[in-house]
């Protein structure tokens, strides 16, 4: 027995090693106590994945698993030599039909893909046609994903949907009640009515911010409360009450930062800021603490951004920079500032007017459209 954690995985179950585990120094082989007490079966009959019995291969080998297409040296494998079929022990539990956050339809496991150039829509890398993966069950939809990408915890909710009938689409509930032409009652400001106005003159007041996205109303249409100083961008007033977002597998519900739940001061799951004011989307799935600012939910996939010529794809952490506004106002400058992208501006040295430090041209920054500093 070795009573020390090396930050390694158990060879048998591929889980983190417990505090106490078995270890072979000669073979560099480690197993959790539970796996030693219940070792892998020497042979299994698993018609879900293969029509023939599969035998445990007792050596480390660099063979690709037919289900996930990967080589996993630290995981036991089962084989059918006549069929050249290889299966990781950990892949036996892969689901057949699932719903993931990155796609609107169910996807099902396929043992191989038709000839052609397939790419995983989660990691954006190519798919080897000869191995298994997931594809959309809807006719005419070409969505596909690697087995391991589709079953990540931040993509799949862990529910197997094989033999489960398709759920009836939940009726969409509007975020507001239309009282009259241009007058609404929003569910997050239910005691008063809001009137539609239009900021055509470009006047703004930094102290008057949209109560959803917490940014000033620079221009465009907005709703203002007829009895208090509550205001919303027209776009923010139309935010859906429930959404599915690509970086989370559960349904998210629109809430207000002024509600009692915000006493916990939980930060946004996509950026480092707390959800202490404004509107945000919260996950009410048991044990899940995921939530997003409404600004962060605007990040779509693919994202077309002015700073780059190619479409951008999501990772699990979109972070705050993707949601920087294209235009902003600063209290000590009478001009509107536009977001510049470093290399596209000039090679001159720019100075930040706030901290008086150099702003390197390789970094994006807000810069006046009428003034060049340097």
Q: Read off the pLDDT of residues 361-373 as tens digits, 9 standing for 90 and up.
A: 444 444 433 333 3
By percentage, how much of the chain surpasses pLDDT 90?
Answer: 33
Tell me the per-residue pLDDT of 310-340, one tens digit each, with 9 for 90 and over: 777 766 544 445 455 556 655 556 555 666 6
More confidently predicted of 191 and 16: 191
What is the average pLDDT value for the chain, to the nearest integer? 79
Residues of the chain with CATH 3.30.60: 94-164, 176-237
Is the model's pLDDT at 175 over the cut of 90?
yes
d(CA 373, CA 371): 6
Tell me what pLDDT residue 38 has.
78
The CATH number fitting domain 94-164, selected from 3.30.460, 3.30.70, 3.30.60, 3.40.50: 3.30.60
* Mean pLDDT in residue range 212-225: 87
Q: pLDDT class for 89, splitting at 50, 70, 90?
A: confident
CA quadruple 244, 249, 253, 254: dihedral sign: negative
* CB distance 224 to 192 below 8 Å: no
Tell me what pLDDT residue 191 has.
94
More confidently predicted of 124 and 310: 124
Fold entry, domain 176-237:
Wheat Germ Agglutinin (Isolectin 2); domain 1 (3.30.60)
Residue 92 has, within 13 A of its CA and on its CB side, a CA count of 19
Is the model's pLDDT at 346 over the cut of 70?
no
Give the closest residue to 367 by CA, choosing from 348, 339, 345. Answer: 339
Least confident of 127-131, 185-189, 369-373: 369-373
Tell me the per-residue pLDDT of 246-287, one tens digit each, with 9 for 90 and over: 888 899 999 987 554 444 567 888 887 777 788 999 999 888
């Amino acid at each position: 027995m070795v009573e020390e954690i090396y930050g390694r995985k158990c060879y048998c179950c591929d889980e983190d090693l417990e505090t106490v585990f078995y270890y072979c120094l000669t073979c560099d082989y480690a197993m959790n106590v539970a796996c030693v007490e219940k070792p892998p079966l020497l042979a299994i009959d698993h018609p879900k994945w293969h029509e023939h019995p599969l035998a445990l291969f007792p050596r480390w080998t660099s063979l690709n698993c037919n289900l996930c297409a990967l080589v996993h040296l630290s995981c036991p494998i089962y084989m059918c030599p006549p069929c050249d079929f290889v299966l990781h022990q950990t892949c036996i539990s892969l689901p057949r039909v699932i719903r993931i956050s990155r796609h609107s339809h169910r996807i099902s496991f396929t043992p191989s893909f038709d000839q052609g150039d397939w790419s995983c829509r989660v990691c954006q890398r190519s798919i080897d046609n000869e191995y298994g993966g997931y594809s959309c069950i809807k006719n005419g939809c070409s969505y596909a994903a690697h087995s391991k990408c589709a079953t990540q915890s931040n993509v799949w909710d862990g529910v197997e949907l094989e033999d489960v009938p398709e759920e009836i689409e939940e009726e969409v509930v509007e975020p507001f009640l239309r009282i009259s032409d241009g007058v609404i009652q929003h569910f997050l400001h239910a005691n008063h009515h809001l009137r539609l106005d239009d900021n055509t003159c470009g006047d703004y007041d930094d102290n008057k911010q949209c109560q959803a996205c917490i940014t000033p109303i620079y221009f465009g249409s907005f709703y203002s409360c007829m009895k208090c100083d509550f205001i919303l961008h027209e776009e923010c007033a139309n935010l859906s009450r429930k959404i599915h977002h690509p970086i989370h597998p559960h349904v998210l519900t629109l809430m207000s930062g002024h509600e009692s739940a915000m006493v916990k001061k939980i930060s946004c799951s996509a950026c480092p800021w707390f959800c202490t004011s404004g509107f945000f989307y919260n996950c009410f799935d048991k044990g899940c603490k995921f939530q997003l600012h409404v600004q962060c939910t605007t990040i779509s996939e693919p994202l077309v951004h002015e700073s780059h010529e190619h479409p951008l794809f999501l990772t699990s952490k979109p972070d705050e920079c993707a949601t920087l506004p294209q235009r902003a106002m600063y209290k000590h400058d009478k001009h509107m500032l536009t977001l510049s992208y470093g290399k596209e501006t000039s090679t001159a040295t720019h100075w930040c007017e706030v901290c008086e430090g150099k702003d390197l041209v390789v970094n994006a920054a807000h810069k006046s459209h009428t003034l060049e500093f340097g």
